[in-house]
Amino acid sequence: MNNKAEDPNLWNDAQEAQKLMRERQQLDEALSGVKSMEQQLADNIELIELGEEEGDDDIVKDAEQALKALKAEASRRQVEAMLSGEADANDTYVEVHSGAGGTESQDWANMLLRMYTRWAERQGYKVELLEMHDGEEAGIKSATILVKGHNAFGWMKTESGVHRLVRISPYDSNARRHTSFSSIWVYPVVDDSINIEVNESDCRIDTYRASGAGGQHVNTTDSAVRITHIPTGIVVSCQQERSQHKNRAKAWEMLRARMYEAELMKREAAANAEAASKSDIGWGHQIRSYVLQPYQLVKDLRTGVSSTAPDDVLDGELNEFMEAALAHRISGKPDVDVGDVD
């Protein structure tokens, strides 16, 4: 690839040149990461040997902690190496929708939006808020973010589904325990190499005034755009830009991406009926429970992976859950029966 990159004729085809440069950078980063891990392994083993020789327990303890962190990094990279799906390397859209329950579920949807934003930022990904509909009293009814970075869709694709929260409601004067539901929908950004045809006559386009923070422009013009694909019922909306024209273009991109993701699900269903049942998205298909009261536990209902530190999970510590879900999906194992979490 280095030899190809030095070819003066490479940029005669700009699209092919950009593809080559992206692939070269990704390979370079992967190789550099492995070399760095090998060096860290050797260095910490040497430190342990040195500490044992000199009787310095602190050096040994620090090196052992570094090896534990290195083991976690190796596990993450091992899973990432298996991300070979057609769109795994792409950027991704993430939609958050509150369920029934009014303010309580809208607040939960807002917590999920923050959780995934924090996770993405921890991974070094860039996050753009494309649209958001605020709740009447608190929280959000829905929101869509764009997560940009290598393998963003590959990592996040197993997060689609219904997420359940159990807690003492801050909105209940009687301090009763409430159960709330919100759904997450993850679908990849479709690049130019993937051809998705959408018949404009099959779509209804609505414009409306944007909501949320944004200065004087907000609620003064119908700049926000919603597109409904009538045959499939797919609905996308965008209010990120000040210009209706730009929001319309972004909404068309989102629609193509949603239709592509729907096609990927059809292929998976045709290839494996069991996998299709696992990836079906809708109310009742809970993938994870977050219990804050009367005890603290986050449990994935597909893999059995759990955490007794929900505050950390809600602050973006999701890698353990994502790694397990990806390995579970790749292996094709049946879902774990972890019982009811209430």
The tokens describing 168, both together, are: 């003492």
Residues 259 and 277 in one domain: no
Note whether 240 and 247 are within 8 A (CB): yes
Residues 99 and 136 in one domain: yes
Residues 217 and 261 in one domain: yes
- Taking residue 244's Cβ as centre, other Cβ atoms within 10 Å add up to 17
Residues 259 and 293 in one domain: no
Distance CA 291, CA 207 (A): 39
How many domains are contained in the chain?
3
**Taking 50 as the threshold, does the pLDDT of residue 192 lie above it?**
yes
Provide the b/e sequence for 294-321 (b: ≥16 CB within 10 Å). Answer: eeebbbbbbbebbbeebeebbebbbbbb
Only one residue has tokens 């709330």, namely: 180
DSSP character string of 62-74: HHHHHHHHHHHHH
Calculate what percentage of the chain has a pLDDT beyond 90: 45
Specify the pLDDT at position 61: 94
Q: Report residue 109's pLDDT band, with 50, 70 and 90 as the boundaries.
A: very high
**Taking 50 as the threshold, does the pLDDT of residue 111 lie above it?**
yes
192-215 mean pLDDT: 75
Q: Which residues pair with 182 in a beta bridge?
A: 98, 163
Picking from 60, 81, 102, the residue at the C-terminal end of a domain is 81
Q: Report residue 281's pLDDT band, with 50, 70 and 90 as the boundaries.
A: very low
Interstrand relation of 92-98 and 140-148 (parallel, antiparallel or unpaired): antiparallel
Specify the pLDDT at position 306: 96
Structural domain contains residue 56 = yes
CA angle in degrees (0–180, nearest 5) for 228-229-231:
135
Structural domain contains residue 139 = yes
Specify the pLDDT at position 263: 76
Residues 75 and 123 in one domain: no
Distance CA 83, CA 327 (A): 10
Distance CA 212, CA 172 (A): 25
Distance CA 34, CA 57 (A): 28
Residues 127 and 253 in one domain: no
Residues 126 and 156 in one domain: yes
Residues 226 and 305 in one domain: no
Query: Which structural domain range is residue 262 located in?
Result: 200-269
Q: Report residue 242's pLDDT band, with 50, 70 and 90 as the boundaries.
A: confident
Q: Report residue 307's pLDDT band, with 50, 70 and 90 as the boundaries.
A: very high
User: Residue 217 sits in a domain of what CATH number?
Assistant: 3.30.160.20
Picking from 269, 299, 316, the residue at the C-terminal end of a domain is 269
Which residue has better confidence, 333 or 28? Answer: 28
Structural domain contains residue 33 = yes
State phi, psi for 239 to the nearest 5 degrees: -135, 20
Residues 59 and 130 in one domain: no
Which residue has better confidence, 142 or 332? Answer: 142
Residues 103 and 182 in one domain: yes
Mean pLDDT taken over the chain: 84
Structural domain contains residue 151 = yes
Q: How far is CA 55 from CA 47, 50, 59, in A?
A: 12, 8, 9
pTM of the model: 0.70
* Cα pseudo-dihedral 289, 290, 295, 299, rounded to 10: 50
Closest CA to 90 of 15, 203, 8, 189: 189
Structural domain contains residue 87 = no
Residues 261 and 318 in one domain: no
Closest CA to 250 of 142, 131, 147, 156: 131
Q: How far is CA 172 from CA 20, 102, 161, 168, 177, in A?
A: 56, 12, 27, 8, 9
Specify the pLDDT at position 279: 37
Specify the pLDDT at position 136: 84
Specify the pLDDT at position 210: 76
Find the distance separating the first CA and the last CA of the chain, reported in whole Å.
54
Only one residue has tokens 């809208």, namely: 106
Note whether 276 and 264 are within 8 A (CB): no
Specify the pLDDT at position 112: 97
Structural domain contains residue 47 = yes
Q: Report residue 56's pLDDT band, with 50, 70 and 90 as the boundaries.
A: very high
Which span out of 11-20, 172-181, 311-320 was modeled with the highest average pLDDT?
A: 311-320
Closest CA to 91 of 162, 191, 177: 191
269-281 mean pLDDT: 43
Note whether 180 and 164 are within 8 A (CB): yes
**Taking 50 as the threshold, does the pLDDT of residue 274 lie above it?**
no
By 3-state DSSP, what share of the chain in percent is helix, strand and coil, each rounded to 5? 45, 20, 30
Structural domain contains residue 194 = no
Which residue has better confidence, 178 or 113? Answer: 113
Structural domain contains residue 86 = no
Which residue has better confidence, 162 or 284? Answer: 162
User: Residue 287 sits in a domain of what CATH number?
Assistant: 3.30.70.1660
Sign of the four-CA dihedral 179, 180, 181, 184: negative
At 302, which helix (H) or strand (E)?
Answer: none
Residues 39 and 50 in one domain: yes
Picking from 216, 242, 269, the residue at the C-terminal end of a domain is 269
